[in-house]
Structure 1
Amino acid sequence: MNSQKNYFELFDLPVGFALDSGVLAERYRALVRALRADFLSDEEDETARSLARIDLAYQTLTEPLARAEYLFRLYGVEGTETGGDDDPASTTLVEEMERQEALVAATNRSDPGAALSEVLTRLAERGAALDKELHQLFADPTPHNLGAAREVVRQLQGLARCRRETEERQAELLRPRPA
């Protein structure tokens, strides 16, 4: 296996955010099968390293935010860490604070389970819209679009954090209370 190939080349896929997960899974299984056959040879260490790289590549390309971060690295764009006050991430911070306020309000409603479900629905709808926008931006990876994609990834990361917290609060509601 050529360790110089990027993850997309490894699976013989075009470089881009949009990909066919079925094709990716099929090619992953084919690569793993081929390498496992090599495991019987004298080069077990090299085969193990190749399998580990294939697994990392598969996990990266399977998860949309990890795939976006990988594409940023391939295109030579800085990651999604936040910057100063003039940084677009400050807008994301305001949105995240608003989501947190909505989460607290939902928890304090008379039926917090239903309210938290509504929050999750809104998060999923917003996430789907952002995912669609991210597909469009990566379809034409100009410097401007990659900058905009970086901001969309920041927003998706905030949504993911809020979704996890909302799910944790829902789980707390379902836990039996000690008598």
Structure 2
Amino acid sequence: MNSKKNYFELFDLPVDFALDTRVLAERYRALVRVVRADFLSDEEDETARSLAWIDRAYQTLTEPLARAEYLFRLYGAEETGAATSEEAPGALLVEEMERQEALVAATNRSDLESALSEVLTRLAERGAALDKELHQLFADPSPPNLSAAREVVRQLQALARCQRETEERQAERLKRRPD
């Protein structure tokens, strides 16, 4: 197994944010079968290292934020520095505060389950719009686009945190619900 390949090369995929996860999954399963079949002729340690590397590559490419971070490393844009504009950090903070306020307001509503579902729907819609923007930015990985993509990733990370918190509140609500 050639561990000098990048994760995209490992699965014979183009280096791009957009990828077909079904194709990735098929190639993952095929690669694992080949490595396991070679187990009889290779040393156990080498097989375990190869499988771990394949699994790490697969997990990275299937998770969009991890894939974006990996692309930043491949493009040499690991540390893109501060935000793309002076307004971006403040705007991001305001947007995150508004989401938190909406979550608190939803928690205080009498129809909590419906309110939390609405919050999750809005988060999913915003996430889809940001995901689309990220696809466009990575399609042309120029330095300005990579810097803008970094900001989009920060927004997606904030959305993910809010989504986790909302889902936790939903789970708490379900636990407290009388049977």
TM-score (norm 1): 0.92
Amino acid aligned to 1:140: D
1:30 and 2:40 aligned: no
Q: Which residue of 2 aligns with 1:170?
A: 170
Q: Which residue of 1 aligns with 2:69?
A: 69
8 Å contact from structure 2 (residues 69, 78) kept in 1:
no
For residues 1-179 of structure 1, the aligned pairs below 5 Å read 1-79=1-79, 86=86, 88-176=88-176
State the number of aligned residues. 177
Structure 1 residues 42 and 141: CA distance shift in structure 2, 3 A: closer
Amino acid aligned to 1:102: A
SS in 1 for 2:176: coil
> Shift of residue 14 of structure 1?
0.5
Partners of 1:49 and 1:159 in 2: CA distance: 34
Structure 1 residues 127 and 80: CA distance shift in structure 2, 3 A: farther
Where does structure 1 lack aligned partners over 5 or more consecutive residues? none
Query: Which stretches of structure 1, 4 residues or longer, exceed 2 Å deviation after superposition?
Result: 78-83, 85-91
Structure 1 residues 57 and 169: CA distance shift in structure 2, 3 A: same
SS in 2 for 1:146: helix
SS in 1 for 2:2: coil
Where does structure 2 lack aligned partners over 5 or more consecutive residues? none
Structure 1 residues 78 and 89: CA distance shift in structure 2, 3 A: farther
Amino acid aligned to 1:144: P
TM-score (norm 2): 0.92
Partners of 1:169 and 1:80 in 2: CA distance: 34
Amino acid aligned to 1:21: T
Amino acid aligned to 1:100: Q
Partners of 1:176 and 1:126 in 2: CA distance: 30
Partners of 1:130 and 1:45 in 2: CA distance: 41
> Shift of residue 90 of structure 1?
3.4
Post-superposition Cα deviations, 1:35-60, rounded to whole Å, max 9, x if no partner, equal 00111124211111011000000000
Post-superposition Cα deviations, 1:108-143, rounded to whole Å, max 9, x if no partner, equal 112111111110010000000000110011011111
